[in-house]
Homo-oligomer: A and B are copies of this chain.
Amino acid sequence: MIEPFDDTYFMKKALNEAEIAFEKGEIPVGAVIVIDNKVIARGHNLTEQLNDVTAHAEMQAITAAANFLGGKYLKGCTLYVTLEPCQMCAGALYWSQISKVVYGARDLERGCINLKTKLHPKTTMEGGVLEEEASSLLKRFFVMKRNLN
């Protein structure tokens, strides 16, 4: 049987969010949160528009998912995010006790893996899903920004 709802399917939804950020002139990172194969929250980076360093895609998705579920813990949920989470977002994921985190591209400098941010023991993390797409969108954004300045 073909399973239509796999990691690639949901990462594409996160990439759609990243593209919306791109169009708004934001660093293009997008996220969705999924439970039982349903998207219950979406978010894209809005740090420029909101003038707020905390407005990362993941933070907004975490808040929206908790709002949808009516409880602050995201047990049974999976976060799909186009870029490896930073310390702040990984710290928020720690508190949420989310079951799984799937990211696209690595962030070697500011990502939670190399900075060793602690995740909750109940959380598993994997990466590399649609990595090329996520990474090339980011590269396009920074090339465009450089040419504008």
A interface with B by C-beta (< 8 Å)? 47-48, 51-54, 59, 62-63, 66-67, 70-73, 86-92, 94-96, 115-118
**Contact across chains for A118 and B72 when beta carbons are under 8 A apart:** no
A72 with B47: in contact, given A54-B59, A117-B117 (CB under 8 Å)?
A: yes
Contacts of A86 in B (CB 8 A): 91, 95
**Of the candidates B52, B70, B95, which one forms a contact with A66 in the assembled complex, judged by CB atoms under 8 Å apart?**
B52
Q: A134–B48 Cα gap in the complex (Å)?
A: 35
**Contact across chains for B115 and A118 when beta carbons are under 8 A apart:** yes
A90 CB to nearest chain B CB (Å): 7
Contacts of A53 in B (CB 8 A): 62, 66, 72-73, 92, 95-96
Q: A54–B51 Cα gap in the complex (Å)?
A: 17
A103 CB to nearest chain B CB (Å): 16
**Of the candidates B51, B88, B95, which one forms a contact with A94 in the assembled complex, judged by CB atoms under 8 Å apart?**
B88
Contacts of A71 in B (CB 8 A): 51
Q: A117–B90 Cα gap in the complex (Å)?
A: 11
**Of the candidates B66, B73, B117, which one forms a contact with A91 in the assembled complex, judged by CB atoms under 8 Å apart?**
B117
A113 CB to nearest chain B CB (Å): 13
